[in-house]
Amino acid sequence: MNNFSTEYQIRINTVDQYMKKALEPYSDCEAVLIDSMNYSVFNGGKRIRSILCMETARMLSGSAEKAMPFAAAIEFIHAFSLVHDDLPCMDNADLRRGMPSCHKKYGEAIALLAGDALLNTAFELMTEECKKGNIATIEAMASVGRACGVHGMINGQIRDIELMASKEATEEKLIRLIEHKTMALMMTSVECGALVSGADKNTVADLVDFAYNLGIAFQIRDDFEDEAEDGEDAQNSPNFINTLGRELARARMSAYARKAKDIISGYAGNEFILGLLEFLFDK
């Protein structure tokens, strides 16, 4: 795609506008709650998950409209997970997206509640869509629930804590960890986009496989970014670079990204997603 960065920015603006509107009904609540929620969502962010959801729907049905409540909800959940991940009892991170993390700016109690509020807002948003009566939207919401629940991000975070303590990371253990911690939300993003577009079971499964491969490649890319940003801190965490070495980690990232590309290449209207893969992995 020639004008990828312009097209990418258009999609970021679309999801940001949608999320701003979705938060408007809460403006009568305590100012610090609304401020901390907004601070945690509108502070940069690549919007990869929401855009994957929107673009899957656009690719399959020609429109991202039906996917918007799910795209926004998933982005709220992602923001929530980052706020909680940064807390002193988790990663204890002072910075997020180059700015003070939510608890550094608002204190721990407010950050905890801002995260909880974003999670609940996500489900309120999806429920409103489900009330319209399309069964596929209920399946989509159930998929999001699984992805951020006990069979998803929470279990992934527990695996992370345990692996960090045991210091016995292997490639297999890392994949099991990120399947829940990182990839679950990416897979549900694509699954929601496919479900609300009326895709059949095989197509949904094929696209979830695309997101699986993209998700592993994305986590390895994230490990390289963390290494560049955090230096020594990143050397202590269980990640692909520390476990495989730089060269093999990069080779794995390319191989998973190539698998994702192979799958998505079979779909008409895939231009933006192919551009996104190039943006993420071919630099």
Q: Which residues bind ligand GRG (CB under 6 A)?
A: 45-46, 48, 78, 80-82, 84-85, 90, 97, 148, 153-154, 157, 181-182, 219, 222
Beta carbons within 10 angstroms of residue 265's beta carbon: 12
**Looking at beta carbons only, is 64 or 83 nearer to ligand GRG?**
83
Nearer to ligand GRG, 15 or 207 (CB): 15
Give whichever of 61 and 213 is closer to ligand GRG, judged by the CB atom. Answer: 213
Q: Which is nearer to ligand GRG, 91 or 209 (CB)?
A: 91
- In angstroms, the CA 32 to CA 9 distance is 29
Residue with smaller CB distance to ligand GRG, 61 or 85: 85
Token readout for 136 is 């596929």
Closest CA to 50 of 82, 99, 86, 13: 13
* Shortest Cβ 133–ligand GRG spacing (Å): 28
The CB-of-75 to ligand GRG minimum distance in angstroms stands at 8
For 96, phi then psi, to 5°, come to -140, 125
* Number of Cβ within a 10 Å radius of residue 120: 12
Are 190 and 52 in contact by the 8 Å Cβ rule? The answer is: yes
Q: Give min distance, CB of 7 to ligand GRG, in A.
A: 17
Min dist CB 56 to ligand GRG, Å, is 16
**Which residues are within 8 A (CB) of 247 and not within 5 positions of it... i.e. 6 or more apart?**
none
Q: Which residues, 6 or more positions from 68, have their beta carbon under 8 angstroms from its beta carbon?
A: 15, 18, 54
Query: What is the closest distance, in whole angstroms, from the C-beta atom of residue 97 to ligand GRG in the complex?
Result: 5
- For residue 269, the one-letter residue type is G
Residue 172 CB, nearest approach to ligand GRG (Å): 19
Least distance to ligand GRG, CB of residue 80, Å: 6
**What is the 3-state secondary structure of 40-66?**
HHCCCCCCHHHHHHHHHHHHHHCCCHH
Q: Identify which of residues 46 and 104 has a Cβ nearer to ligand GRG in the complex.
A: 46
Phi and psi at 100, nearest 5°, equal: -55, 135
Beta strands 95-96 and 99-100 are: antiparallel
Our CB check for ligand GRG shows the closer of 66 and 84 to be 84
